[in-house]
A and B are shown apart, each in its own frame.
Chain A
Amino acid sequence: MADDTELLELPLGDWHRAKGARMVPFAGYAMPIQYEGIMAEHLWTRENAGLFDVSHMGQLILSGDNVSEALEAMVPGDISALKEGRMRYSLLLGPDGGVLDDLMITATPTGLYVVVNGAVKHQDIAFLSANLPSTITIQHLEDRALLALQGPKAVEALSRVVAGVDQLYFMEAGIYLWGEVPLWISRSGYTGEDGVEISVAAEHVAALADALCVQPEVKPVGLGARDSLRLEAGLPLYGHDMDQGTDPVEGNASFAISKRRREEGGFNGADRILRALSEGPARKLVGLSVDGKMPVREGAPIFAGETRVGVVTSGGFAPSVGAPIAMGYVAAGHTGIDTPLEAEVRGKRVGLTVAKMPFVPHRYHRRAK
């Protein structure tokens, strides 16, 4: 992947370059890390609306009789209970309960629409093909782009381009028409802000991105700010904060294990995962606030006194917090909120405190219960 000549091009590659983006390799694609600057783009998204190109992610349609029940063998969410147009965050579990990926699953008229991480999408597809019954069809929508429009003014701006999207609440989705172009729009995202994700045929994505960016609230935002926004929102990044070696309970994703599934089990690694739920995990992903100004980054060891008790898995400067923050795995007994710990950075100790996540409150547009 380090060899730039092998990088794949996104449908919007040239559009990003024309907007002044600096392109970097990510998930095998040339992707925009920033346009005017990570800090400005981050803060713009928190106050207005940022347009992110997430077309590297895998968009799949799983269809066939009893597809939800079949998928439930490898995800711990209550997928059968999903009503059409509703979506759920879930985890793809390997045979031992390790997390192969995190994913969004939406019930649609044609089957389950599943969005998976770009870096592991081909492994995911291979795993699903090998483990779902042969009656289930897996369609990889490689001719579709995916945009995320995120921020408190995202829906207001989008409503001027696509009528009716303001009717959606958080984690709801539907088909909308932009002129004659069908869009699959969900009220969801990975920044902690209100916003939407828009699936569109690749041939129309540049025109749609232009139509969105002429709205005064909208600016393109790169991967750099996407990372700092999701970290402030306390959302894990697959491959860093969660991977095959972690289970959902230690990965702070117990919320993704639905009530019915806790009672019934019947998913990969259920024994291990349900035991961790009842007994508590041996280690847990926690939020960490950092003393001073020096960022503490991925890989920094975490100590309680002289004892090594964990490792930082994501960390950096948080523009909306105005200070460095981090996430990391910490051994049981040291995970309580306000527990003082230390990280080691370039041979020096830096004070940490276990912190509540999210670091910046979520502002989702939830349907009243």
Chain B
Amino acid sequence: MTRYFTDEHEWIEVDGTSATVGITDYAQSQLGDIVFAEVPAVGAKLTKGGDAAVVESVKAASDVYAPVSGTVIEGNDALADDPSLVNSDPEGAGWFFKIELDDASQLDGLMDADAYKAFVEGL
């Protein structure tokens, strides 16, 4: 499995033709205390770069974008009861949704872990 990152601070971990998506540790640290997360419905068609989910901190609502195009196959229901999972384990139990990829070649433009680390250090 390979994990990629976007410049909008989403991560996507690819396993065959499907993938799991969440927001990075850097993103959660910038947002602060997460009080609500809304994940897309199963079957929703997402477009690369388009709105996919919503995450709300005490202060503000932020969009989570789809790193690639595809169809949602699962949302993380645990976030409804405990949105703070996004703070405590953003790149694990705090995942947002799983997606069936339309076109694996869309992954080519994304960053790997080292490139993302350098990107964040440059912010």
- Given the interface pairs A294-B56, A295-B56, the reply to whether A317 lies near B61 with Cβ below 8 Å is no
In whole angstroms, what is the CA distance A211 to B33 when docked?
29
Q: B58 contacts A294, CB within 8 Å?
A: no
A68 contacts B by Cβ under 8 Å: no
B107 contacts A by Cβ under 8 Å: no
In whole angstroms, what is the CA distance A224 to B38 when docked?
22
Q: B58 contacts A39, CB within 8 Å?
A: yes
In whole angstroms, what is the CA distance A115 to B67 when docked?
49
A316 contacts B by Cβ under 8 Å: yes
**Stretch of A30-38, A161-169, A244-252 at the chain-chain interface:** A30-38
Q: A316 contacts B54, CB within 8 Å?
A: no
Q: B58 contacts A228, CB within 8 Å?
A: yes
Digitize B53-93: 1 where CB-to-A-CB distance is under 8 Å, 0 elsewhere: 01011111100000000000000000010010000000000
Q: Name the B residues within 8 Å of A316 (CB-CB).
A: 58-59
B36 contacts A by Cβ under 8 Å: yes
A301 contacts B by Cβ under 8 Å: no
In whole angstroms, what is the CA distance A39 to B32 when docked?
9
Q: Which of B36, B38, B54, B80 contacts A317 (CB 8 A)?
A: B36
In whole angstroms, what is the CA distance A169 to B17 when docked?
68
A346 contacts B by Cβ under 8 Å: yes
- Given the interface pairs A224-B32, A317-B36, the reply to whether A38 lies near B58 with Cβ below 8 Å is yes
Digitize A292-312: 1 where CB-to-B-CB distance is under 8 Å, 0 elsewhere: 011101000000000000000
Q: A38 contacts B83, CB within 8 Å?
A: no
Q: Name the A residues within 8 Å of B33 (CB-CB).
A: 37-40
A328 contacts B by Cβ under 8 Å: no
A319 contacts B by Cβ under 8 Å: yes
B35 contacts A by Cβ under 8 Å: yes
> Which residue of chain A is the closest to B30 with respect to CB atoms?
A22
In whole angstroms, what is the CA distance A42 to B32 when docked?
13
A21 to chain B: closest CB distance in Å?
12
Q: Name the B residues within 8 Å of A37 (CB-CB).
A: 32-33
Q: Which of A293, A317, A346 contacts B58 (CB 8 A)?
A: A317
In whole angstroms, what is the CA distance A324 to B36 when docked?
10
Mark out the residues of chain B between 7 and 42 whose CB falls within 8 Å of any chain A CB in the assembled complex: 32-33, 35-36, 38
> Which residue of chain A is the closest to B57 with respect to CB atoms?
A38
Q: Name the A residues within 8 Å of B58 (CB-CB).
A: 38-39, 42, 224, 228, 316-317, 319
In whole angstroms, what is the CA distance A324 to B33 when docked?
14
- Given the interface pairs A38-B59, A224-B59, A228-B58, the reply to whether A293 lies near B32 with Cβ below 8 Å is no
Mark out the residues of chain B between 67 and 123 whose CB falls within 8 Å of any chain A CB in the assembled complex: 80, 83
Q: A295 contacts B35, CB within 8 Å?
A: yes
Digitize A24-64: 1 where CB-to-B-CB distance is under 8 Å, 0 elsewhere: 00000000011001111010000000000000000000000
In whole angstroms, what is the CA distance A224 to B33 when docked?
11
Q: Which of A34, A227, A294, A295 contacts B32 (CB 8 A)?
A: A34
Residue of B33, B38, B59, B60 most packed against chain A (CB within 10 A): B59
Q: Which of A227, A293, A346 contacts B35 (CB 8 A)?
A: A293
> Which residue of chain A is the closest to B87 with respect to CB atoms?
A37
In whole angstroms, what is the CA distance A319 to B57 when docked?
11
In whole angstroms, what is the CA distance A317 to B60 when docked?
9
Q: Name the A residues within 8 Å of B60 (CB-CB).
A: 297
Q: B61 contacts A293, CB within 8 Å?
A: no
Q: Name the A residues within 8 Å of B80 (CB-CB).
A: 293
Q: Name the B residues within 8 Å of A39 (CB-CB).
A: 32-33, 58
Of the A-B pairs whose beta carbons lie under 8 Å apart in the complex, a sample of 20, sorted by A's number, is A33-B59, A34-B32, A37-B33, A38-B32, A38-B33, A38-B59, A224-B32, A228-B58, A293-B80, A294-B36, A295-B35, A295-B36, A295-B61, A297-B61, A316-B59, A317-B35, A317-B56, A319-B58, A324-B36, A346-B54
- Other 4 A-B pairs with CB < 8 A, given A297-B61, A346-B54: A40-B33, A294-B36, A294-B38, A294-B56
